Structure 1
Amino acid sequence: MIRMRPLLFLTFLITLVLIPAPALAAILGIDFGQSTTKAALVAPGVPFEIVLTRDSKRKDVSGVAFKGEERLYGSAAAGIAPRTPSAAFLHFKPLLGRSVSSSEAKTYLEQHHGIELIPSGNRSTVSFKTDDSSFPVEELLAMSISHIKALGEEMLPKSSATSRIYDVAITVPPYFDSVQRKAIIDAAEIAGVRVTALVPDGVATAINYASARSFGNEKQYHFVLDMGAGSTSATLVSFQEVQERGHRFGKSTLNITVEGVGFDQNLGGDLLDQRIYEILLARFIEAHGDGILSSPRALVRLHKEAERVKTILSANTEVKASVESLYDDIDFRTMVSRAEFEDAIQDVLPRVTKPFDDALQAANLDILDIQSVILMGGTTRVPIFQQVLIKDVLKGDASKLSKNVNADEAAVMGATFRGVSVSKQFKAKEINVLDPAIWEYDVVVSNSDGGIIGTQALFPKGSAGNRSLIELQLPENLEEATLEFREDGRPLFIYGLHSIQESKKKLLQSNNCTELIFVLDAELTVSRVFDVHGVSWQCNVTRPVVPAESDDSEAEDFKQKVFNYFKGEKSSPEGSTTETTAATEAPTDSESMTASSSTTSKRPQATLPPKPRLVKQPVKYTVSYSGSRNMGRATKASSTARLRAFDKLDSGRHARDAVRNDIESYSYRIREWIEHEHQRFIEHSNEEERQTFLRKAAGALEWLYDEGESMILDKLEEKMKELKEFEKTIFQREKEKLAIIEAELRASASAAAAEVSAEVDSAEELVIPDDEPEEEPVEDGTSTSATTTILISTVMPNTKTMSFEESSTAEAEPEKIEEPQHDEL
């Protein structure tokens, strides 16, 4: 039992009251697509704004490139890919959580030439090889997230208490497994942010679709078709407004439920780009030979042209492909028609219907039950795909093809809204989202000889995210065992259990156990990441019977002390006496016996009923992986340190670039002043000074171009200070001249004031005869006499002294002397 003195208890209560509530934080939503990336921000003073790039674009290319120690992002990274393909890492999202030998890695190398992939240490995941280093794919994603986070923080109001972004919501394809999802969470952790939610693309679009609409009490079924650069998914969702019971104003909540999901992991825009690329490559080889196959730069440029051709063919029937000096100084030009393109993808078209069929089967619904198909992703703009949807999916009903969401930004806006809802930091429309697991999670139990004992389900298909203690059934006297955890039949990791019976004996020896069970602590998070937190023996132990008097008396004594404290009756410390205690007589023996019996009668002896408590004994285990695995703590710490080192280099480079720009612009401005004879500059300098200044500016520019690129920040600031010192001399000269002019004006004003004062002193005193009748006062309070004038004059440097006549007339604004402006050069 916790014991606190009354004063300590009061302090504790006050502290609870005075602890300030945490300030509202910013939520960053990121749609990190295979081809492009979008981001949105919500913060106090920033309601749902798209995060713009440095060149004010609403989306950017997904990727990172290296130019020496400088990192480039987005379109800048894509821009150097044709020149240095081995240093530009674009469109790497499919490689998250995958090994070098995976089909995803093989497809990636076919579409990105000049790239070398290597294993990430002993994790079997992908790393990108550079000339002198390598970068795990999670680290590259962390760099992209960190860059987006910096762009978002620049949008935060300067006056706001929120100046940093700590929480993000990120979109994921619905088919991403636990390893891939955990890789995204690891990347966010390296970037210094926390993932509040991983939101499937279809769910994010559905949230955005529903956020500005109302639905009835009947369920409405809609498909969200997301055809992106790398994959296609069809998410069948239902919308339903549910009235809250007992609410006075009929408040309702919108429920969004994922009824079924279908997908094709390889059907997307990149596949279409590849088909056009093959057309262009075949024509070049036919005309000029296959030497181009040995040039990664030429192949990257041809692939980039294929992407452009596909985009134009969505709106035109033909397009001219053109690449200047593609290979061996050969200019490549050819015409590609939409008919040729559609012929090249005929084998792909039947694959469009399968995701719809799988989702309808999972939901036990028919396409006639669907009200609309919401289009998402750039590939849905390809005309032939829309024709296939209308004909083969919607059975000719084109009215159900919905294009009323922003195909580029609906996912990122919905993910941001989901992040807001999960974080509960902002007030938003109440939307309940149920996104159940689309796979089953189970464990295969084997003995030390490899014989399978049995398979037990952990989280069946359709489970919501939760953490559970699951009892496992093991044979008696089993000392060693293997637990293989699987996701949809695919192995995730293996627990090797040791000394099972020894752990059991330890628990039995130290406790009087009942209901002894073997328990697995497993979790399926809301973001659908599966994990195991340990294995243990557990049992219920009955607490021994404890008399209630001691605890009760202590509690009563403590309550009485607190009550007395608030009444103002403070108890005295031991060993001290006060007037109150001195004046109080000691009780007699009979009084003590009466008080004792009274106290005893108020608190009769009682015992607490036996209460069981849970005790556990962990079982030793080792973890192994049959495939790729996620980052450990040490690996993440190393990546975080390297990311911070790059950030420091970037910060120093940006500071140097800023000073270089200042030196360059300042030098050109000096030249402009002198050549165009800037009035103020010419007025306060002589010809020799101007020529000296011009030579200094020219020398600074020459130094900047020759040596300034490699100079450290201190040297650049020193050069800038040298130029400023020369200007300061001229500015000081102008300042001194202005001070002289101002002193002369003040002296003139003082002389004028003295002259007026002398005239007033020499004037004769005005005498009014006693026998002259007094004037009758005028009703409005003004005097009819215009001869009596009292002059009170305060002469200021910038005011014109009024004459005697002027002071007796109506008030007039004093004329001011214009002062020259004191703008700095």
Structure 2
Amino acid sequence: MVYIGIDLGTTYSCVAIFDNGRPITLFNDDGKHTVPSIVAYGEEEILVGNPALIYNTDLSNILYDSKRLIGWGIVHDLPLAEDRQLWTFNVDTRNKIAGYILHKGTPREKFVTPEEVSAEILKKLKLTAETYLGQEVRDVVVTIPAFFQAEQIAATKRAVELAGLNLRCLLEEPSAAAIAYNKKRKLDDSSILIFDFGGGTLDISILDIKNGNLSVKAVSGDAHLGGQDLDSKIMRYVIDTFAKSFNFDICDRPRLIKRLRTECRKAKESLSSVNGPINIHMDIKDELEVNVELTRERFQELCHENFQRTIYYVLRAISSAGLKVTQIDHVILVGGSTKIPLVQKLLGERFGEGKLKFDINPNEAVAHGAAILAHTLQKYESMPLINLTLNETASNVPNSFEMEILARKLKDHEILFYLNTNESGGTEGTVRIFNSQNCTVEKFMKLCSDQWAYEAAIASDKIFYVCFIQNIFEIIDLKDRQKMKGQFEISLASMINSERI
């Protein structure tokens, strides 16, 4: 059975497989590689992607932005207050979960969680893969932003389960991009900055490649900074400009808001290739219409703060990695928003244009990286870059493997951990964790050979991230208290659970 890789994006998602020695992104039934991350709930059917966009139903039942809402507990805590007026769906908090309200205020009112919406997108991509392969698909590698918190990770895992898929690994998007880039252009020893600027998120990672192995030195970014935020700035400008001439509030018309968002997105994309002004036009009724001119200069002015924030996160990541800007050897651009000329200009001014790498498709790179890792896990092969080795050991137990994952970075805490798993042994395994920003691999491996190292780590006042991996990256949850080989009982109440690469 073939393992697949999925890029579950804010605005677009796609699925890829590894075939004939290379990753390929699969076409959907509309002939495109990507599917809009939009789900429409009808009376008797649920539609995903482009059919959902044009579905004849109440607009409040056409849902998007599930990646931005997933894992949040209270709607009003979301850093999206400015944009809520531009949403065409209804949101609320139920049982400490932020989600969507279908048929609000009617007897048919229903609460839908973001993971349920994401699950429908995953089902669509699963079907795309099965149609192409002519066989059932169960196993998947799904990508997530590097800065996703524990609640967002757990909710994403629930989405995968609801979609009827078996999660083999949650792969961080910048690492996926690096894997894809390395497959196309072999990377020598170097320091790499992954600049992943997509439709909904900005994801920055500093990666170090040495002797063919990759370690994540720092991550930074913003789960609510992406192309949609730029669209919203343009929409506000158009709405305000239109209101100066006409006594008509577009914000009171959800269908006009939907159409306006589409027109503003098209204008933004056009400005990446056209130097002249773009006219944002939309008929409203009779002789009433929107006609607002947008130049590249005005667009850059409107979104100045957003663009400056991207550079802020870049510099913060470099600082967290203990590096200088001049020590970055390559800047790999991922995500549709990296096509914006000003983004490239700002990065070129910081790093030099020669260091910017454009030779992978920014819309497919993450899915390709996921597909490469999925193939590796399926075949039990070595994994370039991420320092994952699956080598048979001299053991009487068949299918026994060693896995070594080193120098993970999450927030301001660096994790080094070493795992032994016994595939045939079910739940048996050991996990020893030592957390230190200055711990060398050699020192860590020596410490892990001593039982006291684990006890000392648990007893210390440092923050530790616990993961338990069964059957080679078949990730399972640690409940409130889980015995690990009968030696320790670990409460997760004061720990953050990290179950990703």
* Fold match (TM-score > 0.5): yes
TM-score by length of 2: 0.78
Q: Deviations over 1:560-581 (max 9, x none)?
A: xxxxxxxxxxxxxxxxxxxxxx
In 2, Cα distance between the equivalents of 1:616 and 1:389?
Answer: 50
| Inter-partner Cα distance in structure 2 for 1:65 and 1:435 | 42
The one-letter code sitting in structure 1 at the alignment partner of 2:293 is M
**Matches of 1:274 and 1:617, distance apart in 2:** 50
Q: 1:222 aligns with which of 154, 171, 192?
A: 192
Q: 1:461 to 1:134 in 2, by over 3 A?
A: farther
Shift of the 46–356 alpha-carbon distance from structure 1 to 2, 3 Å rule, reads closer
**Alignment deviations for residues 528-570 of structure 1 (CA, whole Å, 9 cap, x no partner):** 998455278x9xxxxxxxxxxxxxxxxxxxxxxxxxxxxxxxx
Distance in 2, matches of 1:151 and 1:186, equals: 21
Contact 1:178 1:528 in 2 (8 A): no
Q: Please tell me whether Structure 1 or Structure 2 has the larger radius of gyration of its CA atoms.
A: 1
User: Which residue in 1 is equivalent to 2:261?
Assistant: 303
Name the CA distance, whole Å, in 2 between partners of 1:389 and 1:292: 36
What 5-or-longer segments of structure 1 have no aligned partner?
A: 1-24, 158-162, 242-253, 443-456, 475-483, 489-521, 539-613, 630-825
Counterpart of 2:162 in 1: which secondary structure? helix
Matching residue of 2:7 = 31
AA in 1 matched with 2:342: I
**Residue 298 and residue 523 in structure 1: after superposition, are their counterparts in 2 closer, same or farther (change >3 A)?**
same
Q: Give, as a single letter, the amino acid of the residue that structure 2 aligns with 1:227.
A: F
Alignment of 1:722-801 (within 5 A): none
1:154 corresponds to which residue? 131
Q: Contact between 1:441 and 1:458, CA under 8 Å: does it hold in 2?
A: no
Question: Equivalents in 2 of 1:429, 1:179: separation in Å?
Answer: 30
- Closer, same or farther in 2 for the Cα pair 1:616/1:273, shift >3 Å? closer
Cα pair 1:439 1:487 within 8 Å, conserved: no
Q: Identify the residue that residue 376 of structure 1 maps to in structure 2.
A: 334
Q: Distance in 2 between matches of 1:439 and 1:461?
A: 13
Whether the 8 Å contact between 1:276 and 1:306 is mirrored in structure 2 is: yes
The amino acid of 2:45's aligned partner reads E
Confirm whether residue 86 of structure 1 aligns to residue 60 of structure 2. Answer: yes
Q: Which residue of 2 aligns with 1:192?
A: 164
Aligned match for 1:168, one of 115, 118, 140: 140
Change (3 A) 1:47 1:227: closer
Measure, in 1, the Cα distance between the counterparts of 2:236 and 2:410.
Answer: 36
Say whether residues 1:183 and 2:146 are aligned partners: no
Match of 1:77 among 42, 46, 52: 52
Contact between 1:199 and 1:527, CA under 8 Å: does it hold in 2?
A: no
What pairs up with 1:181-330 in 2 under 5 angstroms?
Answer: 181-216=153-188, 219-241=189-211, 254-316=212-274, 317-324=276-283, 326=284, 330=288
Corresponding residue for residue 54 of structure 1: 29
Q: Decide whether aligned partners of structure 1 residues 291 and 370 sit closer, same or farther in structure 2, where only a CA change above 3 A counts.
A: closer
**Bigger RCO (CA 8 Å, 6+ sep):** 2
Judge conservation of contact 1:318–1:336 (CA < 8 Å) in 2. yes
Which of 448, 467, 472 aligns to 1:523? It is 467
Distance, in Å, in 2 between the alignment partners of 1:615 and 1:406 is 48
Judge conservation of contact 1:292–1:327 (CA < 8 Å) in 2. Answer: no
1:35 Cα deviation after fit:
0.9
Q: Which segments of 5 or more consecutive residues in structure 2 lack a partner in the other structure?
A: 389-405, 415-431, 442-447
- Tell me how far 1:156 sits from its aligned partner: 1.2
Superimposed CA distance per residue, residues 72-128 of structure 1 (whole angstroms, 9 cap, x where no aligned partner):
1111212248x6320110122111100223224645623422x111224x2434243
1:129 equivalent in alignment to 2:122: no
Q: Output the CA distance in 1 between the equivalents of 2:412 and 2:124.
A: 36
The amino acid across from 1:414 in the alignment is G
Alpha carbons of structure 1 residues 276 and 291: separation in structure 2 relative to 1, 3 Å: closer
1:405 is the counterpart of 2:360: yes
Residues 412 and 615 (structure 1 numbering): CA distance in 2 closer, same or farther, change over 3 Å?
A: closer
* Contact 1:196-1:423 at 8 Å conserved across structures: no
Count of residue correspondences: 443
Q: Counterparts of 1:618 and 1:222 in 2: how far apart (Å)?
A: 39
Amino acid across the alignment from 1:534: R
Alignment deviations for residues 763-789 of structure 1 (CA, whole Å, 9 cap, x no partner): xxxxxxxxxxxxxxxxxxxxxxxxxxx
2:421 alignment counterpart: none
Deviations 1:118-143 (A, max 9, x none): 224x2434243335222111111111
2:311 pairs with 1:353:
yes
Query: How far apart, CA to CA, are the structure 2 residues paired with 1:186 and 1:346?
Result: 37
Task: For residue 98 of structure 1, give the secondary structure of its aligned residue in structure 2.
Answer: coil
Partner of 1:740: none
CA drift of 1:376 comes to 1.0
Which residue identity does 1:202 align to in structure 2? P
Counterpart secondary structure, 1:204: helix
1:156-181 C-alpha deviation (Å, 9 max, x unpaired): 14xxxxx2111111111111011111
Matched, 1:342 2:300: yes
2:424 corresponds in structure 1 to none
Residue of structure 2 aligned with 1:364, choices 322, 325, 336: 322
Contact 1:440 1:487 in 2 (8 A): no
SS of residue paired to 1:357: helix
Distance in 2 between residues matched to 1:355 and 1:344, nearest whole Å: 19
Q: Distance in 2 between matches of 1:290 and 1:335?
A: 19
Tell me the amino acid that sits aligned with residue 67 of structure 1.
Answer: G
After TM superposition, give the deviation of residue 435 of structure 1 in Å: 6.1
Identity %: 22
Q: Does 1:117 align with 2:94?
A: no
User: Would you tell me which structure has more helix in proportion to its own residues?
Assistant: 1
Supply the AA of the counterpart residue of 2:119.
A
